[in-house]
Amino acid sequence: MCGIAGMVRADGRPAEARLVQAMTDVLSHRGPDGDGMFIEGPVAVGHRRLAIIDLSTGDQPMFSDDRSRVVVFNGEIYNYRELRRELEASGVVFRTASDTEVLLRSYEKWDVGCLERLRGMFAFALWDGGRRRLFLARDRVGIKPLVYAWDGRRFLFASEIKALLQDATVSRDLDWDALRDYLVFHYIPCPRTIFRAVRKLPPASYLLLEEGRSEPEIRRYWDLRFDPQERREEEWVEGLRWHLQDAVRSHMVSDVPVGAFLSGGVDSGSVVALMAQASTTPIRTFSIGFDEASFDELAYARAVAQRYGTDHCEFVVKPDALEVMPQLAWQLDEPFADASALPTYYVAKITREHVTVALSGDGGDENFAGYRRYAAAQRRHAGLDAFPGVLGRMAARVGAAALPSTARGRGYLELLGAGPVDRYFRMVTYQRDATLGRLLTAEAQRQTGTRADDGRFGTLAAASGAPDYVATLQYLDVRTYLPDDILAKVDRTSMLVSLESRVPLLDHVLMEYVATMPTRLKLAGDTGKAIFKRAMADALPDSVLERRKMGFGVPLGQWFRRELRDYARETLLGSRARQRGLFVPAAIEGLLAEHDSGRHDRSASLWALVMFEEWARRWLDG
């Protein structure tokens, strides 16, 4: 796990070594174990290393034998040993024991086709001097980040936006569409960033910048296709067990200590169980709890730890949002309003005191239809999108249109009256057209517009090829919420403390296998992860298998009525926020009053506004 950065000058002028050094320096949290740089003519690449595999000879940048090709790499290639054996059989000679060299040799053998052979999480940049070509790529589901800026003269890339902003010529002008996306989703979907001059390389994509071409070329090399097949259920269960064991075992490869986050849910509990089965020594597990009982899962985590005799560490934390928010605003680089970043940061910080690598259970909900919203969407779909239910949908639309925009119940009628994809969009977003209109000032509205839905979900759903409604929703989440919220959160918070987080449930071989299962095996009635739970039934305590799903959250609603009450008012209605001219003070006053009175829970919207202001103070005000 590392941080990478670099530049290529299309105008032929020499690359600026001091700038690239500054870019890598600001990424030191991603790689505290060493740094390196290559600079030659218009090209410079830099690297910060967190040493995980091949501690003695795995330094980067890494060069081809004739030094015409150089690579900087962030991530892990879990099948690097198998690829190495295949390459050696064809005559390739290796100088190191690292997966980085396997990546470089794979490119030399298969060009960009090497991506199809890689099993892992990665973001890398490879300069091919012989072909005068820069090759950037990102893993299939977007576990590792990669951003870039291009002004027609210089191409800059890095693991985090803050590295690009070391160049004072990279504009900090807002991307107004991204601001609208943030208010709607509470994260900024790829490829936008909050800065107009900076883009994210999408997951499962690669970028080529070749000499003589005026623009970079971006291509997608993988997509998850749902192709249900019919087999006996017992065959599916056995096949799933094998793929789960294979994915977890492959993700345990390391030359440094490995542990696991253990939240007390099925996903992380399954990962720990499979790790314990594959290991000859006790697994190290880490859990955090909270004083608020409704947010505490320590008892469930402890049951799994005791069952497998793990070396278990648990801590009760009292999240201090006022202390951590400025730090997160700096690390996240752009506005981000998923409040579970707070507990994720705390468990990463505690875990890093003991190990360098931790496996997590992220991805289980997307893979196995575990979100409760899938079941809710399916019920509404069955009732509203078939004749004569479609008449009810039409009636709901008519009823919603007849009510004032602020009327109680209008939002629910709009939800019932929407089409299947639009209904899901409304279920997973936070602002409607009317609320954007009330919240944004007239000037901000001129820039962003007030239409919450830009058609993204409809476009993705049409391209998904999914055979049923729930599979379509899973596909939407894999392409949006998973990489741009869940994985972004885990990467930024864990790398802030120099911890490598791995996600075996998002192993692409496992995902492709699960995508061939009929939806009824994953979502059985209102029960999500049905086949996953069956496959792990003998491995987990009943208390874990049967418990209701609990999100990894914090008591925001209480905080905004207690600890954060005065802070929120001062931050959102103070002179600095007013001078930005983005949000209507009276609208914010209304949100604060509604939440404080208990009439409505506005904590999610308030958190998004507070995190935006915290971000703006660091990245706009300097």
Q: How far, in Å, CA of 77 to CA of 62, rounded? A: 15
Q: Where are the alpha helices (DSSP H) in 418-502?
A: 420-428, 433-439, 442-448, 456-464, 469-479, 481, 488-496
Residue 100 CB burial class (10 angstroms; 0-12, 13-18, ≥19)? buried
DSSP helix/strand/coil, 2:
strand
Residue 366 CB burial class (10 angstroms; 0-12, 13-18, ≥19)? buried
Contacts of 409 (CB under 8 A, 6+ apart): 403
Q: Is 2 a catalytic residue?
A: yes
* 57 contacts 96 by C-beta, under 8 angstroms: yes
DSSP helix/strand/coil, 331:
helix
* Predicted pLDDT at 488: 98
* Predicted pLDDT at 555: 83
* Predicted pLDDT at 320: 79
- Domains of the chain, by residue range, sit at 2-220, 233-369+476-545, 555-622
Query: Which residues does residue 71 pair with via DSSP β-bridges, in sequence order?
Result: 62, 126
Q: How far, in Å, CA of 304 to CA of 299, rounded? A: 9
* Predicted pLDDT at 405: 66
Low-confidence ranges of the chain (pLDDT < 70): 1, 293-295, 319, 387-388, 390, 405-406, 550-552
Cβ-based neighbour number of residue 582 at 10 Å: 22
* Predicted pLDDT at 291: 74
* 253 contacts 264 by C-beta, under 8 angstroms: no
Check 2, 114, 190, 313 and give the catalytic one.
2
What tokens does 572 get? 């959102």
Q: How far, in Å, CA of 186 to CA of 488, rounded? A: 12
What ranges make up the beta strands (E) of 64-103?
Answer: 69-77
Starting from the edge strand earliest in sequence, which strands make up the sheet with 62-63, in order? 62-63, 69-77, 120-128, 133-138, 205-210, 217-220
CA quadruple 410, 340, 121, 71: dihedral sign: positive
Amino acid at 258: V
What ranges make up the beta strands (E) of 295-442?
Answer: 311-316, 357-359
Starting from the edge strand earliest in sequence, which strands make up the sheet with 199-200, in order? 34-40, 43-49, 2-9, 154-158, 147-150, 199-200
Contacts of 314 (CB under 8 A, 6+ apart): 286, 287, 288, 289, 298, 301, 302
Superfamily the domain 233-369+476-545 falls into: HUPs (3.40.50.620)
Amino acid at 530: A
* Predicted pLDDT at 178: 97
CA quadruple 495, 501, 505, 510: dihedral sign: positive
Residue 205 CB burial class (10 angstroms; 0-12, 13-18, ≥19)? buried
Q: How far, in Å, CA of 190 to CA of 178, rounded? A: 9
* 61 contacts 36 by C-beta, under 8 angstroms: yes
What tokens does 122 get? 């990665």
* 535 contacts 394 by C-beta, under 8 angstroms: no
What tokens does 561 get? 């009525």
Q: How far, in Å, CA of 368 to CA of 474, rounded? A: 9
The CATH number for 2-220, chosen from 3.40.50.970, 3.60.20.10, 3.30.56.10, 3.90.105.10, is: 3.60.20.10
At 215, give phi and psi (nearest 5°). Answer: -135, 150
Q: How far, in Å, CA of 81 to CA of 173, rounded? A: 45
Cβ-based neighbour number of residue 516 at 10 Å: 14
pTM equals 0.94
What tokens does 379 get? 């019920």
